[in-house]
Structure 1
Amino acid sequence: MRTPLPFFVYGTLRPGAYNHDRLLLGRTAAEEEARLPGARLHDGPGYPYAVPGEGTVAGTLVTAAPDAYGELLGVLDRMEGDAGYERTAVETVRLRDGARVRAWTYVASPETALGPLIVGGDWFRHVPDGPRTP
């Protein structure tokens, strides 16, 4: 079996945001700040959408606890799929030390209507009070 990939999260699943505590708390082995080059971030209805493009998205690389990976993958796929996202593997998540990591992330489905571009690619800076409350 292939090694499970970590998840790059950039919205409500980041530490400090409401879906992190609801879905990830206690199910992760590691969480560290990261960036996804080659992507843009758009505002959505209460959460952001990443799409491929020129830019960089700020987020967190989340490594699932080994015994929680399968369950977590299913939970995240359902939640993100219902919100108009598709899971995709990305090769270029960058950690603070410059290391590149392959990871899963969720990007907007082609039929998803996107809101305005979030300049700077960091949802927490775009809506500083919003991410922490449902």
Structure 2
Amino acid sequence: MTTTLPFFVYGTLRPGEPNHDLFLRARTRSEERARLHDAVLYDGPGYPYAVEDPGSVIVGDLVTARPESYPQLLRELDRLEDYTPGDPRNLYERVAREVTRDADGTAVRAWVYLAAPSVTAALRAHGKLIEGGDWLDRR
């Protein structure tokens, strides 16, 4: 069984971005600004990738799903992020990480979709870093 955790979203699932309404509208109990430490963002083909990087910070949102929506939402987000447990072809890996709420500085354990190892290697070699770690500021 999968642990029920909130999600840390940093790209197209953030409020105002295209996948927010498609996947999260009316399915969340709360959404609040948060930060993921020790990670950077790389620009992808219309969406970002988070990659572990000590000392860096990503800006995003901590999303807590409504309990009745959680199982289906988890399946849909795994599909959206092209994540299947144990599949070497994954674009992302869903991992539990500590994120920090902007409002009060408390740490919360949350699911984060990080770039899979093969994607990470390619991004580190040839990717375009999103300076400042905020997908919304990339333009």
Confirm or deny a common fold (TM above 0.5). Answer: yes
State the alpha-carbon separation in 2 of the partners of residues 62 and 101 from structure 1.
Answer: 11
SS in 2 for 1:16: coil
State the alpha-carbon separation in 2 of the partners of residues 86 and 3 from structure 1.
Answer: 15
> Which segments of structure 1 move beyond 3 Å, counting only runs of 4 or more?
none
Percent identity at matched positions? 58
- The match for 2:87 is none
Q: Could you tell me how far 1:111 is from its partner in structure 2? A: 1.4
SS in 1 for 2:68: helix
Q: Count matched residues.
A: 126
- The match for 2:35 is 35
- The match for 2:79 is 78
State the alpha-carbon separation in 1 of the partners of residues 53 and 2 from structure 2.
Answer: 29
SS in 1 for 2:128: coil
Q: Which amino acid aligns with 1:123?
A: W
State the alpha-carbon separation in 2 of the partners of residues 2 and 15 from structure 1.
Answer: 25
State the alpha-carbon separation in 1 of the partners of residues 18 and 46 from structure 2.
Answer: 11
State the alpha-carbon separation in 1 of the partners of residues 70 and 2 from structure 2.
Answer: 13
1:117-132 alignment runs, 5 A limit? 117-127=129-139
* 2:21 pairs with 1:21: yes
Structure 2 portions without partners, runs of 5+? 84-89
- TM-score, structure 1 normalization: 0.89
Structure 1 portions without partners, runs of 5+? 128-134
**What's the RMSD between the two structures over aligned residues?**
1.6
